[in-house]
Amino acid sequence: MFLGCLMTCWAFSKDNLSATSKYGPGAVPVENGKVTFRTSIPLPAGTDMDKCYERMLSWAKGRFALPYARNAYIVSENPESHRFVFNVEQTLVFKSSAFERDESRIIYNFALNLSDGNCNVTVTDIKYRYEEERYGGGVAFTAEDWITDEEAFNRKKTKFLKKTGKFRIKTIDMKDLLFQRVQEELAGN
């Protein structure tokens, strides 16, 4: 009986979202009609901006050359303004087992700009390519059409919709990991 009660509580908490949930309402910001994730990380006092820019550009080139990044290229690079933008294509894996693999390609722009003692990072222009191996080539859609509060939840915003919720969760996790890696690189880890 205790185990049954515990499972019921876990299922209830998993399906219901609170306003403070990492994935809950408000977790996917929309700016000027585009899903845009931003963070600003303070640079250590006395940071040489040119050296920091070169280190971060080198880090990004290495990060986006790893096997999980299917394709990545520099869209723009400006050493004078300490800004670069990469277009990145990688795989989001929702489920992987011996019998099933549920995944999607995600394409996004990763921008980094050093200014006013901060490292400003943006992830935007997010698109997905889902079930490409299926007949007809699968589906393509934007983050605005799939992971916003209006698209990912039921009307009361208490449960994820089955198809869109997994995209929201994996996109937020990917963004969090990227921002964490930038912070670690800036700290010299």
pTM comes to: 0.85
Q: Between 159 and 171, whose confidence is greater?
A: 171
Percent of the chain clearing pLDDT 70 (strictly above): 87
Residue 170 CB contacts under 8 Å (≥ 6 apart), including other chains: 92, 93, 94, 106
Segment 53-63 shows an average pLDDT of 96
Residue 6 CB contacts under 8 Å (≥ 6 apart), including other chains: none
Neighbours of 83 (CB within 10 A): 17
CATH number for region 27-184: 3.30.530.80
